[in-house]
Homo-oligomer: A and B are copies of this chain.
Amino acid sequence: MPGGDGAVVERGNIVTRIDDVARLAGVSTATVSRALRGLPTVSAATRRRVLAAAEQLEYAVSPSASRLAGGRTGTVAVVVPRITRWFFGTVVETVEDHLHQAGYDLLLYNLGGREQIRQRVLRTANLHKRVDAIMLVATPLRPADLTALARLELPGITISSGSHVPGWPCVRIDDVAAARTATRHLLDLGHRRIAHISGDPDDELAFTTHLDRRRGYQEALRAAGIDPDPSLDVESQFTIDGGTRATAELLARGEPPTAIFAACDEMAMGAISALRDAGLRVPQDVSVIGVDDHDLARVLGLSTIAQPAAEQGRLAVRLLLDPLRTRTADPYAGQVPEQRGPDHPDDPPGQQPVILPTRLVVRDSTAPPRAH
């Protein structure tokens, strides 16, 4: 835009550039750049002058210019299946907090079950040159996705993912164990006819979570000498509606179970709704337990396996960012970072997934079966 003006898009705003700061501080732009980013090769006196000038002029770097010149975007792509679901919303909330604290921008991608979007995000070069790192939350990866991801050569992390991306750490809970605990709780109460409602593998959002939870359910049954009854195992979606539909289907199949283990709290809530509609009381007629410890679980008196959603988000940000930060100085983001010592010696994230603990929370939706 030589001599840019006139018909060109009006950009307006506060137009302080780095050379304005340099001029006011009486140094070169190179020195301003270094001072503002807290690089160690600047004298204290110079730094002070630069900071004062930047503040006086209300200077803010141009992210585009900084990114182009520096080769870093200071941005992380966060990919979730559906931001409206409790687990994903909670994870994103924590991730946003820690990412911004660390000076990173958060680019949000909500897949929403649309395969087309999935491909655009994962398989094209869309993320390429746009972000420094990728966080995939419960995003199922197909072989082609893995290939595309590998070609991007970007660092990343997965949360609650079944697929392993080579070189990417993973944070999750032990879904098999969580399901085992839930089922065992029902068994301990005396239940024998325990149904399971879970995710649909044909769903475009299919992820391995539900497979693991089913496995835990079946393991617990077998350990108690019970052969899993396929007619008590219904697949639907990981949503309230999915739980309602699955439960209706379950009831339509004949004699109701005395207990239902729902693969997530939202399905459990749907189950409670369907049971109520069918005139069955919870827990007198049918016990219900879920997984998550959704905000509303307490309100509904829902027994559940609590999982630390926020903690998974927090940890994921740390595992993702720590390696990035030791590479080079962060771009100036309004305040000069403290000068760092040598690399923190506290992050040896191996290739093993980091497993966070879950916890059985007994409320009012589970009780011994009546016949007992």
**Distance between A42 CB and nearest chain B CB, rounded to angstroms:** 19
Inter-chain contact B73/A83, CB cutoff 8 Å? no
Since A83-B89, A100-B117 are in contact, a sample of 14 more A-B pairs with Cβ atoms closer than 8 Å, ordered by chain A residue number, is A13-B154, A64-B64, A64-B65, A64-B129, A83-B96, A92-B108, A93-B110, A96-B108, A96-B110, A97-B110, A105-B107, A107-B108, A108-B108, A296-B296
> Which residues of chain A from 109 to 141 have a CB within 8 Å of any chain B CB?
109-110, 112, 117, 120, 124-126, 128-130
In the complex, whether A12 has a CB less than 8 A from a CB of chain B is yes
Chain A positions 80 through 115: 1 when the CB is less than 8 Å from some CB of chain B, otherwise 0: 001110100110110011001000011111101000
Residue of B nearest to A333 (CB): B126
In the complex, whether A371 has a CB less than 8 A from a CB of chain B is no
Interface residues of A, Cβ cutoff 8 Å to B: 1, 4, 8-9, 11-14, 58-65, 67-69, 71-73, 78, 82-84, 86, 89-90, 92-93, 96-97, 100, 105-110, 112, 117, 120, 124-126, 128-130, 151-154, 240, 244, 269-270, 272-273, 276, 295-296, 298-301, 327-328, 333-334
Q: A1-B69, A97-B110, A334-B120 are in contact. Are A130 and B153 (CB under 8 A)?
A: no
Pick 8 A–B contacts, CB within 8 A, sort by A.
A11-B71, A13-B128, A13-B129, A64-B129, A68-B68, A97-B112, A106-B107, A273-B298
Q: A83-B93, A112-B93 are in contact. Are A62 and B68 (CB under 8 A)?
A: yes
- A151 vs B13: C-alpha distance in the bound complex, in angstroms? 6
- A23 vs B117: C-alpha distance in the bound complex, in angstroms? 31
Inter-chain contact A93/B82, CB cutoff 8 Å? yes
- A100 vs B112: C-alpha distance in the bound complex, in angstroms? 12
Inter-chain contact B72/A269, CB cutoff 8 Å? no
- A92 vs B100: C-alpha distance in the bound complex, in angstroms? 18
**Distance between A238 CB and nearest chain B CB, rounded to angstroms:** 13
- A219 vs B19: C-alpha distance in the bound complex, in angstroms? 59
Contacts of A83 in B (CB 8 A): 83, 89, 92-93, 96
- A172 vs B84: C-alpha distance in the bound complex, in angstroms? 20
Contact of A334 among B8, B63, B126, B153 (CB under 8 A): B126
**Distance between A72 CB and nearest chain B CB, rounded to angstroms:** 7
Inter-chain contact B71/A9, CB cutoff 8 Å? yes
